[in-house]
Amino acid sequence: MARIAAGVASSHVPLLGVAVDQDKTGDEYFAPIFSGYEWTRQWEKEQQPDVVVLVYNDHASAFDASIIPTFAIGCGENFKPADEGWGPRPVPDVEGHADLAWHIAQCLILDDFDMTIINEMDVDHGLTVPLSMMFGTPQKWPVRVVPLAVNVVTYPVPSGNRCWALGEAIARAVESFPEDLKVQVWGTGGMSHQLQGPRAGLLNREWDNRFMDMLIGDSDDARWIEHIEYLRETGSEGIEMVMWLIMRGALGPATRCLHRHYHIPCSNTAIGHMVLEPAT
């Protein structure tokens, strides 16, 4: 049977993709960010997961304003890097796992999550930057990916509680897939950042670290944080952190932290990264 072996959380700032694509990861500005991912790159090589369920948000790339799915799952065979206005990133195409994706989609719908099913879409930096952070610059990504896109742009976005519950449902779905697969769930985006208005540039080191603390062990406090708290404390775009809760929910009642990294700033954003595994 398939099983969820671990969870990974990471910011997905587009500038990190630029740093990788232009070979600047060792620069003075970027080195302190990328050095916090070295542990994970080595760990991923040892882990060799088969599939990543990659929770991210689209930034007006695949979806325009005409359709706004709250939760969408990519069931296609493969996904191309999106042209976000300056040409697609020079990274490999993303290979899907259509059998697992369709299985998860069916299970989630039967479990009362009314998913939007996507057969064709391009994937933007929200999805490809975390792959670059964890795997570097291979000719071919070493995992297959089930993209799970969340609306965190147009309010109301899904609640933290709903995201956590979706993670729990994803875990049940994965565990009922007959093939023997090692699956990771990644929650991406965040941490504190505000990209708009006179308050732009807000960062909150203390709050971000408290949030990371809450994802370790058997606490479910993070599940109940309201949207207004993310907005006040972490900036208008900090709400992306609800996507980390899908990852956390998928890991079960308790977690162990294997690795943790935090750095301020990357462009407008606080970088956070964690590797968690289910604790039994």
Catalytic residues: 125, 193
> In angstroms, what is the minimal distance from the CB of 59 to another protein?
4
Rounded Cα gap, residues 96 and 118, in angstroms? 12
Rounded Cα gap, residues 35 and 261, in angstroms? 9
Half-sphere exposure of 203 (CA within 13 A, CB side): 15
Rounded Cα gap, residues 44 and 147, in angstroms? 19
Question: Would residue 217 be called left, alpha or beta, if left means φ above 0 and alpha means ψ between -120 and 50 degrees?
Answer: left
> In angstroms, what is the minimal distance from the CB of 2 to another protein?
34
CB of 151 or CB of 255, closer to another protein: 151
CB of 129 or CB of 251, closer to another protein: 129
Q: Which residues contact 31 (CB under 8 A, 6 or more apart)?
A: 25
> In angstroms, what is the minimal distance from the CB of 29 to another protein?
9
DSSP state of 115: P
Backbone angles phi, psi at 176, to 5 degrees: -100, 10
CB of 7 or CB of 235, closer to another protein: 235
> In angstroms, what is the minimal distance from the CB of 106 to another protein?
28
Per the DSSP assignment, residues forming a β-bridge with 146 are: 53
CB of 66 or CB of 139, closer to another protein: 66
Reading the block at residue 41, the tokens are 């790159």
Report the candidate in 174, 65, 156, 74 with the shortest Cα–Cα distance to residue 117: 74
CB of 1 or CB of 68, closer to another protein: 68
Q: Check if the beta carbon of residue 5 is closer than 8 Å to that of residue 185.
A: no
> In angstroms, what is the minimal distance from the CB of 133 to another protein?
18
Q: Interface with another protein by CB under 8 A: which residues? A: 14-15, 59-61, 64-66, 68, 83-86, 153-156, 159, 192, 194-205, 207, 227-228, 231-233, 236, 264-265, 267-268, 270
Rounded Cα gap, residues 196 and 13, in angstroms? 15
